[in-house]
């Protein structure tokens, strides 16, 4: 038990300090090359200008660097591959124990994280080099990438890992067969849509760290120690990012962070479900409740404007910006989201570990 705990805690601490060490280097280049949008503002989901958002962000959008998410996945990659290399070139009981890079538990989530991060990075590069500030990779292309990647991973769960059922909090597991593939695709696309929670200094870092901490705890309880170590490493990387993202943010996460993280949450939730003999998928809507609320606030806003002659439910969507628009300071929204995220994570862990 003690050795397993160390296997989880050491990657988390190592990733945090690696992230802290990498931050000055990343900061130097982000500011040197002015990695921020050249024009403030954004377009709403219905194609109109997001006027309220522009008022909230016009002073910071062209001054705060993007691509801060690099800090997260780079530090996780350093830790993961560093401990693997240590085990290869300095073999011992200790180094073998610390190595958590395994085919059965970490290859899929790590690959998902890095592929999502790379596509998000390309989007961010295009975003900051466009004079209009909104070029990026077209949303349809990004959704196609997410759908394609999740199709492959869903197929892998079904065909290679023989996952054909999902957990049921009220009884035996639900056998759904090949439908596990479209279900995984739907969950991945939904979670990717929640990446817009990266909208206020410190907000996304606090929420994502709570979610991955919850899944690290669940994985550890299920005996998936390598997966728990990977989730813990992610927590360390996110906290290192958060150290520099608290108000006033030194940089923002943007797509290179949020795309990889949201897609990895989907993978981890499925891996801690029937595959790990747990209820990770059942607990997902609870653990990630704030992500769910973010997506639904956007859906509600779009449908309201479409079917109620342009009338809006919220002053601005997603929900966290609505709270800003009604007068809450950004730091108050952030800290209340942190509190709620911890509460929902605790509730979700409790549900996931119900016998």
pLDDT at position 261 over 80: yes
Q: pTM for this one? A: 0.94
Contact status, residue 318 vs residue 307, Cβ threshold 8 Å:
no
Contact status, residue 242 vs residue 205, Cβ threshold 8 Å:
yes
Question: What's the mean pLDDT when you consider all of the chain?
Answer: 92
Indicate the number of domains in the chain. Answer: 1
Q: How far apart are CA 175 and CA 164, in angstroms?
A: 6
Q: How far apart are CA 277 and CA 297, in angstroms?
A: 33
Q: How many CB atoms sit inside 10 A of residue 122's CB?
A: 15
HSE toward the beta carbon, residue 86, CA cutoff 13 A: 16
pLDDT tens for each residue of 149-188: 999 999 999 999 999 999 998 889 999 999 999 999 999 9
Which domain, by its residues, includes 6? 2-352
Confidence band of 133 (pLDDT split at 50, 70, 90):
low
Identify the burial level of 107 via C-beta atoms within 10 angstroms of its C-beta, where 0-12 means exposed, 13-18 middle and 19 or more buried.
Answer: middle
The pLDDT of 56-78, averaged and rounded, is 87
Q: How high is the pLDDT of residue 122?
A: 96
pLDDT tens for each residue of 296-353: 999 999 999 989 888 899 999 999 999 999 999 999 999 999 999 999 999 999 999 8
Q: Which long-range contacts (CB under 8 A, 24 or more apart) does 90-98 make?
A: 97/3, 97/6, 97/7, 98/6, 98/7, 98/10, 98/11
Out of 37-46, 239-248, 328-337, which region has the weakest mean confidence (pLDDT)?
Answer: 37-46
- Residue 340 has which token pair? 């709620």
Among 129, 144, 137, 122, smallest CA distance to 69 is for 122
């Amino acid at each position: 038990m003690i050795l397993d705990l160390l296997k989880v805690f050491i990657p988390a601490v190592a990733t945090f300090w690696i992230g802290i060490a990498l931050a000055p280097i990343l900061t130097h280049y982000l500011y040197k090359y002015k990695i921020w949008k050249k024009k403030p503002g954004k377009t709403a989901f219905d194609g109109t200008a997001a006027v309220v958002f522009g008022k909230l962000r016009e002073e910071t959008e062209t001054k705060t660097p993007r691509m801060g998410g690099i800090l997260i996945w780079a530090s996780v990659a350093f830790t993961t591959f560093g401990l693997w290399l240590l085990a290869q070139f300095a073999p011992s009981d200790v180094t073998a124990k610390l190595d958590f890079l395994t085919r059965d538990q970490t290859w899929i989530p790590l690959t998902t994280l890095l592929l999502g991060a790379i596509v998000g990075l390309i989007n961010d590069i295009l975003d900051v080099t466009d004079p209009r500030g909104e070029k990026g990779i077209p949303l349809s292309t990004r959704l196609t990438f997410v759908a394609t990647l999740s199709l492959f991973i869903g197929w892998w769960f079904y065909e290679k890992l023989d996952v054909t059922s999902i957990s049921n909090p009220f009884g035996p597991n639900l056998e759904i067969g090949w439908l596990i593939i479209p279900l995984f695709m739907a969950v991945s696309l939904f979670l990717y849509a929640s990446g817009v929670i990266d909208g206020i200094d410190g907000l996304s870092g606090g929420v994502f760290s709570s979610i991955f901490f919850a899944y690290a705890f669940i994985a550890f309880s299920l005996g998936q120690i390598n997966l728990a170590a990977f989730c813990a490493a992610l927590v360390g990387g996110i906290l290192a990012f958060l150290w520099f993202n608290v108000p006033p943010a030194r940089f923002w996460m943007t797509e290179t962070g949020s795309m990889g993280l949201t897609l990895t949450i989907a993978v981890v939730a499925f891996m801690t479900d029937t595959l790990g003999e747990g209820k990770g998928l059942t607990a997902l809507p609870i653990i990630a409740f704030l992500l769910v609320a973010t997506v639904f606030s956007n859906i509600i806003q779009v449908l309201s404007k479409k079917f109620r002659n342009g009338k809006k439910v919220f002053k601005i969507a997603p929900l966290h910006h609505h709270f800003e628009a009604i007068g809450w300071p950004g730091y108050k929204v952030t800290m209340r989201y942190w509190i709620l995220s911890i509460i929902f994570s605790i509730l979700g862990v409790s549900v996931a570990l119900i016998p």
